Amino acid sequence: MGDSKRGERIVFVDYLRVFACFLVILVHASENYYGAGGESDMAGPVSLLLNEADRLWVSVYDGFSRMAVPLFFIVSAFLLVPVSPDMTTGQFYRRRFMRILPPFFIFVILYSTLPVLWGQIDGVTSLRDLSRILLNFPTTAGHLWFMYPLISIYLFIPVISPWIAKVSPKEERFFILLFLLSTCMPYMTRNWGEIWGQCFWNEYHLLWYFSGYLGYLVLAHYIRVHLTWGRQTRLWAGMAMLIAGAVATIYSFYVQAIPGELIETPVLEIGWAFCTLNVVVLTTGAFLLFSCIRQVKAPAIITRTSKLSYGIYLMHIFWLGLWVGVFKDSLDLPTVAAIPVIAVVTFICCYLTARIIAFIPGSKWLIGA
């Protein structure tokens, strides 16, 4: 969701933004088939697969799409890291946050109020959400969790930039190695219990400072600056990583999702966490594949959609609930068709809505474009 430092458009990044934005919607369409209910159109703390068809297609669609969030972090880092030497930290913060924060807070208010009109939440919930605007996302807008780590990464970019601007490829690979090791910890902890300093009163384990989305930031910089693979190598390596990561991510859910059994969602989604090794492999493979695009200029629809991607992301839950009601509840389409149809129609409606808003003077304060 960042822009390049000199304002030029990078064609493959525009394609990547559109792809990742659609995958976010595909994830949330899938969640209606295993964990949705109550006040939100997203998965809750407990999941239930109703039948084998839901088990298979949720695993495939949602599992493959788990690269969406990491792709956005990689894109931002690819474009913004390191900060230009002639830009102060204050200037960087002002440029980034003036773009993302006003639309974010406007949509926090919208998600806290508009659902009252169609009975999704009551007045008490609306007032509670409004009172917590500075603390967390609203009840009906779980997708806005993403904004908090994104803001955190933006805050950290000027801090890490002096190091990353002069670090050697070997030193950067060492950081990435520790990051990759940290992505194995969810599986290690499940099998062996608390490790490397973890305990009920200490979450700051041995690799804490090399873990999380910061690893994607360093990985993106390494690919942009130090990876010297030619297009053919990137193509084949990217394809191999994409397939391997997708199979592992899809299987991790499928093997646990027993129809008819209530399962805690964090347990079921252990392989879908964005900072697990399989998702890192999946994401890196997709990024390498998109980097093989050699078009000088993207089609206008791609460039335009890329520019509107932030607004599409912010508003998509409003449209998603409507189309879930149509294709899942009313028409009862088979799962294999319903999930992608819901995602495609939601994406189109969000694009058209954002496109119309973009014609309004000052629209950047609402959709960031």
**Sorting pLDDT into bands at 50, 70 and 90, what band is 75?**
very high
Predicted pLDDT at 3:
46
Q: What residue type is 165 in one-letter code?
A: A
Ramachandran bin of 136, using left for φ above 0, alpha for ψ from -120 to 50, beta for the remaining angles: beta
**pLDDT (tens digit per residue) in 17-46:** 999 999 999 999 999 998 744 445 567 788
Q: Which whole number is the average pLDDT over 141-160? A: 95
pLDDT at 2: 46
Residue 302 — left, alpha, or beta (φ > 0 → left; ψ -120 to 50 → alpha)? alpha
Q: Is the pLDDT of residue 136 over 50?
A: yes
Which pLDDT score, from 0 to 100, does residue 35 have? 72
Helix (H) or strand (E) holding 337: helix 335-358
| Cβ pair 294, 230 in contact under 8 A | no
pLDDT at residue number 41:
58
d(CA 191, CA 349): 44
Identify the pLDDT of residue 338.
96
Q: How far apart, in Å, are the Cα atoms of 142 and each of 250, 276, 294, 307?
A: 23, 21, 36, 23
Q: According to the model, what pLDDT value does residue 6 have?
A: 46
Question: Average pLDDT in the 179-197 region?
Answer: 94
User: The tokens 């294999």 sit on which residue?
Assistant: 336
Determine the Cα angle at 251 with ends 246 and 253, to 5°: 110
The mean pLDDT value for 149-167 works out to 94
Q: Do the Cβ atoms of 215 and 182 come closer than 8 Å?
A: yes
Task: Select the more confidently predicted residue: 62 or 45.
Answer: 62
pLDDT computed for residue 216 by the predictor: 95
Instruction: Show Cβ contacts of residue 300 under 8 Å, excluding neighbours closer than 6 positions.
Output: none
Q: Identify the pLDDT of residue 159.
A: 94
Alpha helices for 230-276 (secondary structure H):
231-254, 265-268
Confidence of residue 5 (pLDDT cuts 50, 70, 90): very low
Phi, psi of 40 (to 5 degrees): -120, 155
Residue 205 has what pLDDT? 94
Residue 14 pLDDT > 50, yes or no? yes
Separation of alpha carbons 177 and 194, rounded Å: 21
**pLDDT for the residue 9:** 82
- pLDDT for 7 equals 54
Closest-CA residue to 343 (of 29, 5, 19): 29
Each residue's pLDDT tens digit, 305-349: 999 999 999 999 999 999 999 999 899 899 999 999 999 999 999
Residues 289-313: tens digit of each pLDDT: 999 999 889 999 999 999 999 999 9
Q: What is the mean pLDDT of residues 75-88?
A: 90
Structural tokens at position 194: 């608390």
